[in-house]
Amino acid sequence: MKKLIISMATLLAFTAVFAFTVAQNWTITDKYSIKFSSNDVAGIFKTFKGSIAFDEANPVASKFDVTIDVASINTGNGLQNKHAKGEEWFDAAKYPVIKYTSKKFAKTATGYAVTGDLQIKGVTKEFTIPFTFKKAGAGATFNGSFTVNRSDFKIGKPGGDVAEQIKIDVAVPVTKG
């Protein structure tokens, strides 16, 4: 009987610990903004989706699994959009999404950092993204700004008319899901 009580107590303790380590699920709203820029080109991606679980008190329990639809690129210039979707740049027909899957989270002096796998044009690299998380009522917003070297992902030809370093600014409003 003692073994049964101890086993049940252990199971309850494990369940209680697990319950406190599950991150809050957040639903991405349609007000998100995924912008890119360099001295040579700028634009947005119009389609972004995925799942976000985040706990600011326990970032280790968090998880991001998000995608950007490459064909949703918009530079404000139809010819540039067509070129960007083409084989030399993003090759949207062969690689229709940019994917980011988190592996670990950390609290930083200015917010948080997520490290995960960034996959663009068939190339996957471990990539750390700094971000902030601001709550507002039943929602919140994730904001991040970082730089990607386009040549690391075989986007366009190295050198050329477009800078290697592309700045990315992300704002992702979410509601409790």
The pLDDT assigned to 40 comes to 87
Q: Is 37 within the bounds of a domain?
A: yes
First and final CA of the chain: distance in angstroms?
42
d(CA 56, CA 173): 15
Q: How far is 1 from 9, CA to CA, in rounded Å?
A: 12
**Residue 18 domain-assigned (yes or no):** no
Task: Provide the Cα torsion 144, 147, 148, 149; round to 10°.
Answer: 180
- Asked if residue 35 is part of any domain, the answer here is yes
Is the Cβ–Cβ distance between 147 and 166 less than 8 Å?
yes
In a domain, 38, yes or no: yes
Q: What is the pLDDT of residue 2?
A: 53
Cα-Cα-Cα-Cα dihedral sign, residues 52, 81, 165, 89: positive
The first and second tokens of residue 94, run together, are 């062969």
Domain-located, residue 69: yes
Q: Which residue has the tokens 């690129």?
A: 73
Give pLDDT, residue 15.
Answer: 43
Query: To 5 degrees, how large is the angle CA 89–CA 41–CA 122?
Result: 25
In a domain, 7, yes or no: no
**11 within domain boundaries:** no
Structure confidence at residue 17 (pLDDT): 44
Q: What is the CATH number of the domain that holds 92?
A: 2.40.128.110
Domain of 135 in residue numbering reads as 23-176
Q: Are 68 and 97 in contact (CB under 8 A)?
A: yes
Number of domain units in the chain: 1
Q: What pLDDT is recorded for position 21? A: 58
CB distance 150 to 40 below 8 Å: no
Average pLDDT for consecutive 10-residue bins of the chain (177 residues)? Answer: 47 44 90 95 97 96 98 97 96 98 97 98 98 95 97 89 94 94
In a domain, 3, yes or no: no
